[in-house]
């Protein structure tokens, strides 16, 4: 024991301590490995991570108010909104100076769009006022209070000023509050009026329906994967092509095909009426509702469930089941106690894939979902492309991302991510 301690550190052939020499060799290896993956890493970073972060950061960004009205905002901060009186002359003068610059730079309508999310009517007030303000001289034409009040009633409305004051921070939690059906008002954080509450409902609906879709994919996919794994190779390959076929067909075509199938004058209803199961006057309503979304999305996502299941089932040794049976197990027991547990990693992998894909779907629910079968992603799409409220869209997206990460974490805790296999 003691004699090794006395001889000091073990030396490598060149006389350096072995530990250091080893560390050096490892470091070189690591750098080489890093260099090899560097192109991919940089690509992913630039084209994926950075855009996502910059998009998500919009959910709190709110510097447009300060940047457009740099003089007004600090002065307005000193104004006491509860006094019931309009801000003083100095605020209006500062506003005139800011607005003249903003109008000439065409920034005032951008700000108006932002504030119109909070108070309906500000958009047209700014747009209309801008045309007159353009002609003002911020020095010679002072004072401005009277002029503003003449220009538009809104400038004499305390609510307008309260809105500007409330939303003047460079960072806001307003979008996140909106995303969970709350709102940031001059009187603090409040719930949205009941007739505007929809987003939480949609979040919950998205989660529940994604779970249902995942469940029906498991039920439909498991037998198919089992057959694929247990057929002779030639037949299995043919079946495999059938499973893969949907991949080669456009998503829109598949979704539209379901429309033709499911609508009231569609194929399924026609057949049911023809064989007399359904009365012509009472055709089934199986599209433009949740059922339509579930059917179409189950069909579209099924391959993502079958493939991981199939590749896991292929690795299950058939001798285990045979051994179980020879030891006296019934067909059911040998399946349930021996075969099924070995196929769980495939179910896990398929479920994660299907669930996460389902949660972000929007084109299929939009086409076949009607009003009750749409997802939160449809609202995100609306705010990105129609209302241009990218802040709210980013907040909704962030929440969705966090929810998925939490579910993934919970899955890891309950099932264990090591139990997931893609083959």
Partner 1 sequence: MKLTKILLATTALTVAAGAAAAQEMTIVSWGGAYSKSQKNAYHDPYSEKSGVTIINDDSSAEAVAKLRAMAEADNITWDVVDVVAADALRLCDEGLAMEIDPDTMLAPAPDGTPASEDFGELLVGDCFIPQIVYSTTFGYRTDLVGDNAPTDVCAVFDLDAYPGKRSLEKRPINNMEWALICDGVAKDDVYDVLATPEGQDQALAKLDSIKDQVVWWSAGADTPQLLADGEVVMGSTYNGRLFSVIEEQKQPVGMLWDAQVFDLDGWIIPAGLSDERKARALDYIMFATDTQRLADQAKWISYGPARKSSAPLVGKHAELGIDMAPHMPTDPENAKNTFLYNYEFWADYRDDIDAKFQAWLAQ
Binding site for partner 1 (CB under 8 A): 106-107, 109-110, 112-113, 116-117, 120-124, 127, 195-198, 201-202, 263-266, 288, 366, 370-372, 374, 379, 382, 384-389
Q: CA of 47: how far to CAs of 55, 263, 322, 393, 401, in Å? A: 12, 41, 51, 20, 18
CB of 217 to partner 1, least distance (A): 25
Q: Which is nearer to partner 1, 306 or 399 (CB)?
A: 399
Q: Which is nearer to partner 1, 173 or 289 (CB)?
A: 289
CB of 112 to partner 1, least distance (A): 7
CB of 375 to partner 1, least distance (A): 11
Q: Which is nearer to partner 1, 263 or 334 (CB)?
A: 263
- Cβ neighbourhood burial of 55 (10 Å; 0-12, 13-18, 19+): middle
Distance in angstroms (rounded) separating the CA atoms of residues 210 and 217: 10
Distance in angstroms (rounded) separating the CA atoms of residues 75 and 72: 5
- DSSP assignment of 129-160 equals HHHHHTT--TTTT---HHHHHHH-GGGG-HHH
- Cβ neighbourhood burial of 90 (10 Å; 0-12, 13-18, 19+): middle
Q: Which is nearer to partner 1, 374 or 400 (CB)?
A: 374
CB 95 within 8 A of CB 138: no
Q: Which is nearer to partner 1, 269 or 398 (CB)?
A: 269
Residues 6+ apart with CB under 8 A from 252: 363, 367
Residue linked to tokens 């009003």 = 371
Beta pairing class for 188-191 and 182-185 = antiparallel
CB of 384 to partner 1, least distance (A): 6
CB of 228 to partner 1, least distance (A): 37
Distance in angstroms (rounded) separating the CA atoms of residues 162 and 169: 13
Q: Please name which of 88, 169, 160, 86 lies closest in space to residue 129, comparing C-alpha atoms.
A: 160
Q: Please name which of 171, 144, 137, 121 lies closest in space to residue 72, comparing C-alpha atoms.
A: 144
CB of 359 to partner 1, least distance (A): 18
CB of 403 to partner 1, least distance (A): 19
CB of 148 to partner 1, least distance (A): 19
Q: Which is nearer to partner 1, 61 or 90 (CB)?
A: 61
Distance in angstroms (rounded) separating the CA atoms of residues 245 and 300: 11
Q: Which is nearer to partner 1, 335 or 382 (CB)?
A: 382
Distance in angstroms (rounded) separating the CA atoms of residues 53 and 61: 12
Structure tokens at 202: 């949609």
Q: Which is nearer to partner 1, 162 or 379 (CB)?
A: 379
Q: Which is nearer to partner 1, 4 or 371 (CB)?
A: 371
CB of 113 to partner 1, least distance (A): 6
């Amino acid at each position: 024991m003691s004699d090794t301690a006395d001889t000091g550190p073990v030396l490598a052939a060149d006389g350096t301590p072995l530990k250091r020499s080893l560390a050096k060799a490892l470091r070189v290896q690591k750098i080489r490995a890093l260099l090899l993956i560097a192109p991919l890493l940089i690509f992913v970073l630039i084209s994926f991570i950075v855009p996502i972060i910059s998009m998500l950061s919009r959910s709190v960004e709110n510097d447009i108010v300060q940047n457009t009205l740099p003089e007004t905002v600090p002065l307005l901060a000193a104004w006491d909104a509860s006094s019931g009186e309009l801000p003083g002359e100095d605020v209006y003068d500062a506003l005139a100076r800011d607005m003249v610059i903003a109008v000439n730079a065409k920034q005032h309508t951008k700000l108006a769009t932002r504030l119109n999310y909070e108070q309906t009517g500000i958009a047209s007030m700014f747009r209309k006022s801008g045309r007159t303000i353009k002609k003002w001289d911020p020095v010679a034409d002072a004072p401005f209070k009277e002029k503003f009040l003449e220009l538009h009633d809104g400038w004499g409305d305390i609510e307008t000023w309260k809105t500007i004051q409330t939303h003047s921070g460079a960072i806001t939690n307003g979008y996140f509050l909106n995303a969970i059906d709350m709102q940031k008002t001059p009187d603090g954080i409040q719930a949205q009026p009941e007739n505007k509450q929809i987003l939480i409902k949609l979040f919950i609906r998205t989660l529940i329906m994604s779970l249902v879709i995942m469940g029906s994919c498991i039920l439909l996919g498991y037998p198919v994967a089992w057959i694929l794994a247990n057929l002779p190779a030639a037949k299995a390959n043919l079946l495999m092509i059938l499973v893969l076929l949907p991949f080669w067909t456009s998503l829109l075509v598949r979704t539209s095909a379901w429309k033709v199938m499911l609508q009231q004058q569609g194929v399924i209803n026609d057949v049911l009426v023809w064989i007399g199961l359904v009365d012509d006057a009472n055709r089934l309503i199986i599209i433009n509702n949740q059922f339509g979304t579930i059917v179409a999305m189950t069909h579209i996502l099924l391959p993502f469930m079958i493939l991981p299941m199939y590749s896991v089932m292929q690795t299950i040794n058939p001798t285990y089941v045979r051994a179980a049976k020879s030891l006296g197990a019934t067909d059911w027991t040998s399946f349930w106690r021996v075969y099924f547990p070995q196929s769980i990693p495939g179910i896990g992998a398929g479920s994660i894939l299907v669930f996460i894909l389902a949660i972000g779907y929007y084109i299929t629910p939009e086409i076949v979902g009607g009003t009750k079968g749409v997802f939160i992603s449809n609202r995100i799409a609306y705010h990105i492309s129609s209302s241009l409220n990218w802040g709210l869209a980013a907040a909704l997206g962030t929440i969705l991302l966090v929810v998925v990460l939490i579910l993934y974490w919970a899955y890891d805790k309950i099932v264990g991510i090591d139990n997931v296999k893609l083959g």
